[in-house]
Amino acid sequence: MPYIRSHVLICAGTGCVSSGCKAVEQAIAAEIKRHGLSHEVRVVQTGCFGFCKIGPIVMVYPESSFYCYVKPEDAEEIVQQHLLKGRLVERLLYRDVQSPKPTTFFTDIGFYKKQYRVALANCGAIDAESIEEYIGVDGYQALAKVVSSMTPAEVIHTVKASGLRGRGGGGFSTGLKWEFAAKAPGAIKYVVCNADEGDPGAFMDRSILEGDPHSIVEAMAIAGYAIGARQGYVYVRAEYPIAVNRLTIAIDQARRIGILGQGVFGSAFDFDIAIRLGAGAFVCGEETALLASIEGRRGMPKPRPPYPAIKGLWDKPTLINNVETFANIPKIILRGAEWFASMGTENSKGTKVFALAGNINNTGLVEVPMGTTLREIVYEIGGGIPNNRAFKACQTGGPSGGCLPAALLDTPIDYDSLTAVGSMMGSGGLIVMDENTCMVDVARFFLEFTQDESCGKCVPCREGTKRMLEILEDITKGHGTADDIDLLAELSTTIKGASLCGLGQTAPNPVLAALRFFRDEFDAHISDKKCPAGVCRELLTFSIIPAKCKGCTLCKKACPVGAIAGTVKTVHTIDTAKCIKCGACIPKCPFMAIVR
Amino acid sequence: MLTITELNEIRARVRQHLSVRRNGNEVRIIIGGGTAAIAAGSRQLMAAALEEIALHGTANVQVSQRELDVEADEHPAVVVAINGSEVLYKRCTAAELCALISRSVLTPAANAN
Ligand SMILES: Cc1cc2nc3c(=O)[nH]c(=O)nc-3n(C[C@H](O)[C@H](O)[C@H](O)COP(=O)(O)O)c2cc1C
Ligand code: SF4
Ligand code: SF4
Ligand code: FES
């Protein structure tokens, strides 16, 4: 077999596809051919590197040179300089926000230095559409080990001992859940992978399916062996076409090569997997609603118990786990429960993937050991807040969680610490907000989401979230009254206590957390009719500070409704009756004379 | 149905292919790059190196290029790095390089793993 000396890895995850990686890939492949390097250089399409913001990303091995923002026009230089002549293309190398010096090696990049990748280990490292590359990085070895040398009870014991807890939001012990499903009576059982990923901003499950789909196939087969199931289903939203495609390819390859199907690795264990597409309703991520949807019924939650492990899909015992939970399984089997349990904190073992977003320099997917502090994630991995603005809060747990203020930046991230401070782990959304964020508005945003996504089965969730949203909207519009806070608290208690599923039970959380940590902002909106962050438009008054205005007329030209009056070299004024609060004038003033 | 033996055979084959992406390979062959080196025949050295490695079918070698600090008449040059310690060979011929590779690849110390 010829020896290929260099691999050009091109990220083909959703993020880089939208920033144009396909054209880059074609251009690089064409240049390689044109320079006669086809027999010594290979182009490989991978899944997400996690740093989608700087995509399209191209990584050249063996040098581990990490090129970012690559355009098709850069292909010739990469091929001619790097691949042919052995010179790095410095202008395309990654530069940290803090330092203008290019980073030559991938592992020196601040964003990656503190990360420890277990669930994401293969994402961006292998060809996501090649079962052979997956096998080359020990893929399917865990399944082989399990069916050839472990009893189902031993597998369950290992998963239990690892301390792995569900990454889908609930944080329930994975090993215990497997044990329940294994012990449940019944000849027919199912394994289901929850890839609905409805939390706004979260995309770790999508990235795993896009970058390492075989790990999910392998983990589901291991779970099937452990609980005695022969059939698995992956429930994934149709809005994830690349993930669906890669998973389809992976299942197909695993069948064709003879891993999925009858007698896995020569054992008596049979297993196969089918995909079921969801239409992207948040509530369909809730396990009982998800199972209803797979059965072809409307996705609405059911009371539990019975839990799916006892009575799930078509009333058969069903094990349901999240994508990221499954992605940890092959590694736990191969490297051992002790290895996994050595990472993390007392009650939260291993690592967790977060989708870092919002007002932060390095947005993307980060995987860190449990117990890493918010500060480390925000400032070391995330590179801090852009434009030297101050940190105000970060939201964990998405619409079920809450915001945490700067005083809690040293909170270690694990299930219990986050719950203790009034938020939750959720599926790993981590939204950073700077001083220009209005916390009342953020609470309103999440409530708007949950009330929109409520399935309508329970009155407190259906009607209560609507009423809460109306109150919050009133507050942001300056119509808030002194009683509103008590009313919000009362509604929250009722909704949390009387809703059937997790959606309703956690929907008030963002409001409660905002009230706990940012009460002064609510008061400013209600009593002073002011939005301290300058976000809630109805509460803003645009005005010009006379002492700063030089009369340059620039703002007057920018105002779309002619609300600004003044002549050259005289102080300008804004007619608040005419002003539509669009803010177009503010950036135009060279002297920062306009305030709101 | 795939057997575990077949699974392991695929793994061994692909591991060799994936060694290009691994850090810390025991043997690294660095062929002098740049225009002058190419003019002096570094591309032929590359071809010979790749052929020699393919012949041994080993998974612990990596070949890269870098501009090496040698005089104009010392091209083509090659650095052979074994477990991190580098030795520079100036005016290297394809035959010499092949001998170097087969020696370093077959050295048990370098081949441990
Ligand atoms: C409203 C709602 C939405 C949910 N969405 C998801 C989801 O998108 N993905 C997911 O894995 N779990 C989601 N869950 C949690 C699931 O019900 C279930 O606990 C989880 O899939 C179990 O897997 P795990 O133990 O591996 O976390 C959601 C729960 C609720 C209440
Ligand atoms: S709590 Fe809300 S989303 Fe959940 S079942 Fe009730 S109405 Fe539906
Ligand atoms: S842009 Fe600024 S300085 Fe110029 S007229 Fe408007 S407020 Fe005055
Ligand atoms: S999609 Fe390319 S880095 Fe995320």
Q: Quote the CA–CA distance of B76 and A25 in Å, as a whole number.
A: 31
Q: Which residues pair with A9 in a beta bridge?
A: A44, A59
Ligand 2 site residues, Cβ closer than 6 angstroms: A 283, 301, 454-458, 461-462, 499-501, 503-504
Q: What are phi and psi of A345, to 5 degrees?
A: -115, 180
Q: Report yes or no: B79 and B87 within 8 Å, Cβ to Cβ.
A: yes
Q: Report yes or no: B25 and B19 within 8 Å, Cβ to Cβ.
A: yes
Q: Which letter, b or e, does each residue of A504-516 get, where b requires 16 or more Cβ atoms within 10 Å of its Cβ?
A: bbbbbbbbbbbbe
pLDDT at B109 over 60: no
Its domain, for residue A84, covers 6-113
Q: Quote the CA–CA distance of A529 and A523 in Å, as a whole number.
A: 9
User: What letter represents residue A99's amino acid?
Assistant: S
Q: Do A87 and B67 touch (CB under 8 A)?
A: yes
Given this model, what pLDDT does residue A321 score? 98
Q: A64 burial class (0-12, 13-18, 19+ CB within 10 angstroms)?
A: middle
**Two tokens, residue A96:** 């940290």
Same domain, A175 and A47: no
Given this model, what pLDDT does residue A56 score? 97
Q: Do A3 and B4 touch (CB under 8 A)?
A: no
Residue of A3, A10, A148 to mutate, interface with B, max B Cβ within 10 Å: A3
| C-beta A15 within 6 A of ligand 4 | yes
| C-beta A196 within 6 A of ligand 1 | yes
Same domain, A455 and A406: no
A591 part of a folded domain: yes
Domain count, chain A: 5
Same domain, A154 and A292: yes
Q: Do A136 and B15 touch (CB under 8 A)?
A: yes
B33 touches chain A (CB under 8 A): yes
Same domain, A273 and A172: yes
The dihedral sign for the CA sequence A364, A327, A200, A504: negative
pLDDT at B113 over 70: no
Residues of B in contact with A61 (CB under 8 A): 20-21
Given this model, what pLDDT does residue A102 score? 85
Using CA atoms of A16, A17, A19, A22 in order, give the dihedral in degrees to the nearest 10: 110
Q: What is the pLDDT of residues B35-49, one digit of tens each?
A: 999 999 999 999 999
37-76 in chain B: CB under 8 A from chain A = 37-38, 46, 49-51, 53-54, 57, 62-67
Task: Tell me which residue in A5, A64, A140 faces B50 most closely, judged by beta carbons.
Answer: A5
Q: Quote the CA–CA distance of B87 and B89 in Å, as a whole number.
A: 7
Q: Quote the CA–CA distance of A122 and A473 in Å, as a whole number.
A: 44
Q: Quote the CA–CA distance of A232 and A210 in Å, as a whole number.
A: 19
Angle at the Cα of B68 from the Cα atoms of B64 and B73, rounded to 5 degrees: 125
The confidence band for B23, taking pLDDT boundaries of 50, 70 and 90, is: confident
A376 part of a folded domain: yes
Same domain, A91 and A140: no
**Two tokens, residue A183:** 């012990």
Q: Do B62 and A62 touch (CB under 8 A)?
A: yes
DSSP assignment string, A301-319: ---SSSPTTTS-GGGS-EE
Same domain, A358 and A487: no
Task: Tell me which residue in A132, A257, A266 faces B14 most closely, judged by beta carbons.
Answer: A132
The confidence band for B110, taking pLDDT boundaries of 50, 70 and 90, is: very low
Residue A57 Cα, ligand 4 centroid: separation in angstroms?
7
pLDDT at B111 over 50: no
Q: CA nearest A19: which of A61, A51, A64?
A: A51
Q: Which of A387, A410, A434 is the last residue of a domain?
A: A434
Task: Tell me which residue in A2, A137, A266 faces B50 most closely, judged by beta carbons.
Answer: A2
Domain spans, chain B: 23-112
Same domain, A108 and A212: no
Q: What is the pLDDT of residues B46-80, one digit of tens each?
A: 999 999 988 887 778 889 999 999 998 999 999 99
**Two tokens, residue A541:** 């008054």
Closest chain A residue by Cα to residue B20: A62
- Pocket-testing residue among A543, A544, A557, A570, ligand 3, by greatest number of atoms within 8 A of Cβ: A544
Residue A493 Cα, ligand 2 centroid: separation in angstroms?
15
Closest chain B residue by Cα to residue A144: B4
| C-beta A31 within 6 A of ligand 1 | no
Same domain, A165 and A251: yes
Per-residue pLDDT of chain A (596 residues; tens, 9 = 90+): 788 999 999 999 999 999 999 999 999 999 999 999 999 999 999 999 999 999 999 999 999 999 999 999 999 999 999 999 999 999 999 988 767 788 877 778 889 999 999 999 999 999 999 999 999 999 999 999 999 999 999 999 999 999 999 999 989 999 999 999 999 999 999 999 999 999 988 999 999 999 999 999 999 999 999 999 999 999 999 999 999 999 999 999 999 999 999 999 999 999 999 999 999 999 999 999 999 999 999 999 999 999 999 999 999 999 999 999 999 999 999 999 999 999 999 999 999 999 999 999 999 999 999 999 999 999 999 999 999 999 999 999 999 999 999 999 999 999 999 999 989 999 999 999 999 999 999 999 999 999 999 999 999 999 999 999 999 999 999 999 999 999 999 999 999 999 999 999 999 999 999 999 999 999 999 999 999 999 999 999 999 999 999 999 999 999 999 999 999 999 999 999 999 999 999 999 999 999 98
A1 part of a folded domain: no
Same domain, A159 and A306: yes
Same domain, A365 and A379: yes
Q: Do A85 and B50 touch (CB under 8 A)?
A: no
Indicate the pTM of the whole model.
0.94
A27 part of a folded domain: yes
DSSP assignment string, chain B: ---HHHHHHHHHHHHHHHGGG-S--SEEEEEE-SHHHHHTTHHHHHHHHHHHHHHHT-SSEEEEEE-----GGG-S-EEEEETTEEEEESS--HHHHHHHHHHHHH-HHHH--
The bound ligand whose nearest atom lies closest to the alpha carbon of A320 is 1
A118 part of a folded domain: no
Q: Tokens 């708007």 label which residue?
A: A448
CATH number at residue A403: 3.10.20.600
Q: Report yes or no: A402 and A327 within 8 Å, Cβ to Cβ.
A: no
Same domain, A376 and A443: no
Neighbours of A441 (CB within 10 A): 20
Same domain, A386 and A414: yes
The CATH code of domain B23-112 reads 3.40.30.10
Given this model, what pLDDT does residue B107 score? 60
